[in-house]
Amino acid sequence: MSLLTHCGANRVEREQVMFHPAPQSTDTWHPIPHGVLVDEVFRNLERFDITITEEAHAMTPNGNRYFGLFQVKSLQSDFAAVIGARNSHDKAFGAGIVLGSSVFVCDNLCFDGEIKVGRRHTLNIMDDLPGKVHDAIEKTAGYIEYQEKRIVTYKETEISNRMADHAIVEMFRRGIITTSRVRNVVKEWDAPRHPEFAEASNVWRLFNAATEANKGVQLSDPTKDYKLHGLMEELVAEAA
């Protein structure tokens, strides 16, 4: 699994994350060490007998922002469920996790808003963050089944070039892709770099064209992924 760095983050080992200290708290701001969030994820995955097959971690050079990916065991041959985690020590965002998927052939990531946890760094954060992480991980098995059915639907739904063109314009309008990345999506739709996606003109092909173009932004702004799934579901309904 490739953790594509973003916002100046660099790959690090888990040990570096676990021993990185949090800054001093104030009356209203109570940051937690990145390792505390990672530990909560690991403990709950173990509690529900969910196996991690691969993990990757990144921090900005000053250690103020952390991003992590945990790929979990799946019965699928071409994609797997992943858990994304992030935490900051510069007030950029709170502690949070989100579930999504990673496509093996290209390491494309896409997160989903169905299961997500976020907690601001305020007083008593540790009173409820463990419970939030527990509840999210508990739903992982159901999410994996849901995601498998969704991706099968994407693969079974054929679309025309006209429909794909319209959807790409909508990606830009909805803030899923930037102006500079529109061309990349068109290129990946017209001639996918991975032959597996060129076998059919379906929603799965377009979905991967978009995630390929958006590599490196997912954990920094997972809302783009939520919107992408929403648009793909609309496309499935339109093609029905």
Express each pLDDT in 73-115 by its tens digit.
Answer: 876 778 888 898 999 999 999 999 988 888 887 777 888 876 6
Average pLDDT over residues 170-192: 96
* pLDDT at res. 1: 53
* pLDDT at res. 178: 94
Exposure string (b/e) for 90-124, b if CB count within 10 Å is 16 or more? eeebbbbbbbbbbbeebebbbbbebbbbebebeee
* CA–CA separation, 76 and 82 (whole Å): 13
pLDDT at 142 over 80: yes
Cα angle for residues 227, 230, 232 (degrees, 5° grid):
110
pLDDT at 31 over 70: yes
Cα angle for residues 220, 98, 144 (degrees, 5° grid):
135
Where does the pLDDT of residue 2 fall: very low under 50, low under 70, confident under 90, or very high at 90 and above?
low
Where does the pLDDT of residue 134 fall: very low under 50, low under 70, confident under 90, or very high at 90 and above?
very high
Where does the pLDDT of residue 145 fall: very low under 50, low under 70, confident under 90, or very high at 90 and above?
confident
User: Residue 78 in 3-state DSSP?
Assistant: coil
* pLDDT at res. 29: 96
Q: What is the pTM of this model?
A: 0.86
